[in-house]
Amino acid sequence: MDVNGENLRFIMGFKLKQYRLENGLSLKELGEKTDLSISYLSEIEKGKKYPKPEKILQLAQALGVSFDELVSLQVNKDLDPLPVIFSSPVIKEFPFRMFGVSPQDLLALITGDPAKAGAFIRTLLEIGQDYDMRVEHLLLAALRSYQQMNQNYFGDIEDAAEGFLREMRWPPEPPLDSALIANFLQEKFHYRFDEETLSGYPELEDARSVLVEGAAPRLLIRKDLQPEQKKFILAREIGYRHLNLKERSLSSAWMNVASFDQIVNDFKASYFAGALLMNRE
């Protein structure tokens, strides 16, 4: 289990609520026994606060457990889902907040019925293993949901593309000249373009482009692409720069999905490129 401040707070919240319920105490009753406010106890149980040693001692005495039991990272079998949650890359990387779910909501689910919640979580992870489901599969599924939630329309990105065209005084009607895009990247961000190197790397055969970062970024583009495909790759680079998207893929082929933010930023840059190259109407 990864041990960090957030996990310590979550474990304390789990154990406090579990011991409180085992003693048949409400938050109000526990507050009366410890001289701690209901709101403070609630914050601890939600994993938002970690009490000071003297307050932990008060809580332990009120709950009939030792100080060491309350602060220990060990959990009983009913709280067995904890190690699963904290160690699973699927759970750690999945963008729960995008769907209105917080870590505290997961805490509420598990402390409400730890045995059932644990079985549910383990079942999900086993299904993922059986079907060779990796973190990137879930993140890509989350991206599809993100697009559907917005009906695949992102007006702010389209507005940004229109604003960029006005700022550059480029013609708003397609087709946009590839030379304009390439010259902008060269003059503004010192890009260099290379259409020869990729063909020498068979392991990169799925990649249409690869960006080699640096003071003068080197954009490797597959030579045999159609002109419109090359233009889109250049326009997408403008998208990353103009929208200030720092976390991104360096290859057009998703070889290493690091986070949900990376996937969303890749999508935003591509959407910007489409808006730049196509008439909004």
**Number of residues assigned to the chain:** 281
Q: What is the CATH number of the domain that holds 245?
A: 1.10.10
Are residues 100 and 220 both part of a single domain? no
How far apart are alpha carbons 102 and 98 in whole angstroms?
Answer: 9
Whether 119 is covered by a domain: the verdict is yes
Are residues 216 and 108 both part of a single domain? no
Name 192's bridge partners: 218
* Pair type for strands 209-212 and 192-194: unpaired
User: Residue 100 — pLDDT band, cuts 50, 70, 90?
Assistant: low
Residue 259 has pLDDT above 90, yes or no: no
Are residues 174 and 90 both part of a single domain? no
Residue 253 has pLDDT above 60, yes or no: yes
Q: Where are the alpha helices (DSSP H) in 100-154?
A: 103-112, 114-130, 135-149
Residue 94 has pLDDT above 70, yes or no: no
3-state SS assignment for residue 220? strand
Q: What is the pLDDT of residue 146?
A: 78
Q: What is the pLDDT of residue 79?
A: 54
Whether 69 is covered by a domain: the verdict is yes
Prediction pTM value: 0.64
Q: What is the pLDDT of residue 212?
A: 96
How far apart are alpha carbons 56 and 35 in whole angstroms?
Answer: 12
Q: Where are the alpha helices (DSSP H) in the chain?
A: 5-22, 27-34, 38-45, 53-63, 67-71, 81-87, 89-93, 103-112, 114-130, 135-149, 155-168, 178-189, 227-242, 260-277
- Structure-block tokens of residue 228: 């419109």
Q: What does the pLDDT average to over 91-105?
A: 65
Residue 175, preceding peptide bond in cis (omega within 30° of 0)? yes
Structural contact between residues 38 and 67, judged by C-beta atoms closer than 8 angstroms: no
Whether 145 is covered by a domain: the verdict is no
Whether 146 is covered by a domain: the verdict is no
Whether 41 is covered by a domain: the verdict is yes
CA dihedral 31, 36, 39, 42 (to 10 degrees): -70
Q: What order do you get walking across the sheet with 192-194 strand by strand?
A: 192-194, 218-221, 209-212
pLDDT digits 0-9 by tens, 170-224 = 988 888 999 999 999 999 999 999 999 999 998 888 899 999 999 999 999 999 9
Whether 147 is covered by a domain: the verdict is no
Whether 138 is covered by a domain: the verdict is no
Q: What is the pLDDT of residue 92?
A: 64
Mean pLDDT over the full length of the chain: 83
Are residues 121 and 16 both part of a single domain? yes
Are residues 183 and 222 both part of a single domain? yes
CA 192 to chain centre: 31
How far apart are alpha carbons 111 and 115 in whole angstroms?
Answer: 9
Q: What is the pLDDT of residue 229?
A: 96
Are residues 69 and 127 both part of a single domain? yes
Are residues 108 and 169 both part of a single domain? no
Instruction: Pick the range with the lowest mean pLDDT from 52-66, 106-120, 132-146.
Output: 106-120
- Structure-block tokens of residue 229: 């495909």
Q: What does the pLDDT average to over 219-239?
A: 97
Are residues 28 and 126 both part of a single domain? yes
Are residues 192 and 261 both part of a single domain? yes
Of 133, 167, 187, the one marking the end of a domain is: 133
Are residues 46 and 122 both part of a single domain? yes
Of 133, 167, 189, the one marking the end of a domain is: 133
Are residues 103 and 15 both part of a single domain? yes
Q: Provide the domain limits for residue 52.
A: 5-133
- Structure-block tokens of residue 180: 């304009």
The total domain count for the chain is: 2
Of 80, 103, 133, the one marking the end of a domain is: 133
Are residues 106 and 172 both part of a single domain? no
How far apart are alpha carbons 265 and 10 in whole angstroms?
Answer: 30
Instruction: Pick the range with the lowest mean pLDDT from 43-47, 148-152, 162-166, 270-274.
Output: 148-152
Q: What does the pLDDT average to over 138-156?
A: 81
Residue 231 has pLDDT above 90, yes or no: yes
User: Residue 41 — pLDDT band, cuts 50, 70, 90?
Assistant: very high
Whether 139 is covered by a domain: the verdict is no
